[in-house]
Amino acid sequence: MAETAFTNTLFVAMPAEAAANGDYLLPTVFHSVQSDESRHISNGYATLLMALSDESNHQLLQRDLRYAWWNNHRVVDAAIGTFIEYGTKDRRKERQSYAEMWRRWIYDDYYRSYLVPLEKYGLVIPHDLIEEAWNQIWNKGYVHEVAQFFATGWLANYWRIDPMTDEDFEWFEYKYPGWYDKYGKWWENYNRLSTPNGHHPIVFEDVDYWYPQRCWTCMVPCLVREDMVYAEVDGVVRTYCHEMCKWTDVTAFRPTYMGRETPNMGQLIGHREWETLYHGWNWADVVSDMGYVRDDGKTMVAQPHLQLGDQKKMWTLDHLRRCPPLQSPNVLFNEMTPEEREAFHARYIRGGPGGRFPVDA
């Protein structure tokens, strides 16, 4: 699933975008890697056909197709979509958006050309999930929600994300009509708050953004608010970004699946959420512990802008030390009573787009 479908956007679409931005090293390396991916595709297809020849394998293959498709969509579309859409200065109107690339490289070239023909061998294809992935990208703004979250949490990472310009805004509105009404105001606030001037990083400021719950399965936050669900598993209440991620954890990744023993199936256990590991910590200590501090011992590696030559515009640990302590959404959710949790969930799914708080009647 990963190397046949989603490496198309990673190894073909992203190098094209890199070249358009003047980076020729990445396309050179990635095109070499892609030739190796082609070999993997050939090996994988032959192995799949061999497994399909035994009908007793179909049940587990169909399970694998469902969770593998959805997990790749959640993780790869989140990362590569954000890089391609928000990590570029190439705003030519004729340049394809990530949605257009996805429709070409994944929907047409993989789904329609590669997966659908397997139906004649008796394999049930997850048509519903493929259509839902497209629905997430085109109608629910999945990539835009992820990019906004990445920028919201800039202080917990190591990247530099510069504010957008009017040219960026115009391109997004052209490619995704209605984009500005959903996300434009927040990005304007990101620009306004990108350099320290007596305020906190944007995640702590009043910009009408509700920090999201984390999906236990794919680890991408529950950004399409209406789809968030939860379940109690092994004595812990877990949140999920979609029913499919819940199904993966609760049903698919279990020692028994539909009456069949699957004892070697991996399970989603252990320390999975970084917010939970640092719950209650001061933000300066969090960033120091992760090692995201420059050689001067105080300036952060991550910055919400690219004005890196002006020390007065750089965020430091001193700025973070004044911020409220880190609060894990997972810990707080588990500390609620069942009634509080139900009310929280009902309000959460009314939120957005753009992570906005719901307008309660």
| Count of other CB atoms within 10 angstroms of residue 259 | 6
Are both 163 and 124 inside the same structural domain? no
The verdict on 152 and 115 lying in the same domain is no
Q: Where are the alpha helices (DSSP H) in the chain?
A: 7-8, 14-20, 25-52, 58-86, 98-102, 127-138, 142-152, 166-175, 179, 185-192, 243-247, 274-277, 283-290, 317-321, 329-335, 338-348
**Residue 276: CATH number of its domain:** 1.10.620.20
**For residue 257, what are the β-bridge partners?**
260
Where a domain ends, among 87, 116, 136?
A: 136
The answer to whether residues 47 and 176 belong to one domain is no
Domain boundary among the residues 112, 136, 160 is at: 136
Tracing tokens 């995201």 back to the chain, one arrives at: 292
Identify the residue with better confidence: 359 or 186: 186
Average pLDDT, the chain: 92
252 lies in the same domain as 103: no
pLDDT of residue 34: 66
| Residues 119 and 198 both lie in one domain | no
pLDDT at 110 over 70: yes
pLDDT of residue 214: 97
**Greatest alpha-carbon span in the chain:** 66
Range of the domain at 131: 1-136
In the listed set 136, 159, 193, which residue is the last one of a domain according to the structure? 136
pLDDT band at residue 359, thresholds of 50, 70 and 90?
Answer: confident
Position 350 pLDDT exceeds 70: yes
Judge if 119 and 92 occupy the same domain.
Answer: yes
Tell me: do 76 and 42 sit in the same domain.
yes
Mean pLDDT, rounded, for 61-89: 94
By residue count, the chain amounts to 361
Give 142-187 pLDDT, tens digit per residue. 999 999 999 999 999 988 889 999 999 999 999 999 999 999 999 9
Statement to judge: residues 175 and 296 lie in one domain: yes
- Same-domain status, 106 and 20: yes
Report the sign of the C-alpha dihedral through residues 212, 186, 73, 134, in that order. Answer: positive
Residue 69 pLDDT > 60, yes or no?
yes
Lowest mean pLDDT among 1-5, 70-74, 266-270: 1-5
Statement to judge: residues 124 and 173 lie in one domain: no
Cβ-based burial of 171 (10 A; exposed 0-12, middle 13-18, buried ≥19): buried
Residue 260 token pair: 């069949």
Instruction: Examine the pLDDT at 295 and tell me if it is beyond 60.
Output: yes
Tokens of 145: 């929600």
CA distance 289 to 317: 12
d(CA 119, CA 54): 15
Min mean pLDDT across 76-85, 139-148, 173-182, 264-273 is at: 264-273
Do residues 164 and 132 both lie within one domain? no
pLDDT tens for each residue of 13-59: 778 788 888 888 888 887 777 667 667 777 777 888 889 999 999 99
Least confident of 24-38, 54-68, 99-113, 198-212: 24-38
Whether residue 126 sits in one domain with residue 48: yes
pLDDT score, position 208: 97
- Residue 354 DSSP code: T
Q: For residues 118-131, give the mean pLDDT.
A: 93
Q: Tell me what the mean pLDDT of segment 271-283 comes to.
A: 94
The total number of structural domains that make up the chain: 2
